[in-house]
Amino acid sequence: LDFLPLKCDACEEVFCKDHIRYDDHKCSSAYKKNVQVPVCPLCNTPVPIQKGEIPDMVVGAHMDKDCKYNPAQQKQRIFTNKCLKPGCKRKEMMKLVCEQCGGNFCIKHRHPLDHDCKGSSHPTSKA
């Protein structure tokens, strides 16, 4: 009952209010008027495009030439705190510093009695 003809500004065809959006009528010329800025899926930076350019082509060219994506940066090691106990090769995510000698140890060797602590004070208990 309420058909007000609306003209699409991209493809110049006439639609009702339910189909005027580019996605609703699958407008093949939407890229000419759509002002969204595409974002590179690898480096998450906006890729500027000019009117009339196809966004997929511009982003593809960016990925081939200008992309600053570094896959090594994505896989940074989190276990970097090496145990100072001789012979132990374990690494922990967080530093476990002995209060007496100031050394960094793994969970197994964190107690002063477990790493033969040479600190200034002696432990109060053998817990």
Summarize pLDDT for 39-97 with one digit per residue, the tens. 998 888 899 888 778 888 899 898 888 888 766 555 667 778 899 999 999 998 888 99
What's the confidence (pLDDT) of residue 42?
86
Domains of the chain (ranges plus CATH)?
1-34 (no CATH), 36-75 (no CATH), 76-119 (4.10.1110.10)
Dihedral, CA of residue 25, residue 28, residue 29 and residue 34, to nearest 10: 70
Q: How far is CA 102 from CA 68, 114, 116, 118, in A?
A: 40, 14, 13, 10
Q: How confident is the model at residue 104 (pLDDT cuts 50, 70, 90)?
A: very high
Q: How far is CA 9 from CA 50, 91, 127, in A?
A: 17, 61, 78
pTM over 0.85: no
Are 106 and 85 in contact by the 8 Å Cβ rule? The answer is yes
Length of the chain: 127
Query: ∠ CA(57), CA(62), CA(67), 5° rounding?
Result: 150
DSSP 63-121: HHHT----HHHHT--S--EE--STT---EESS--B-TTT--B--STT-STTTTT---SS
The neighbouring-strand residues paired with 92 are: 81
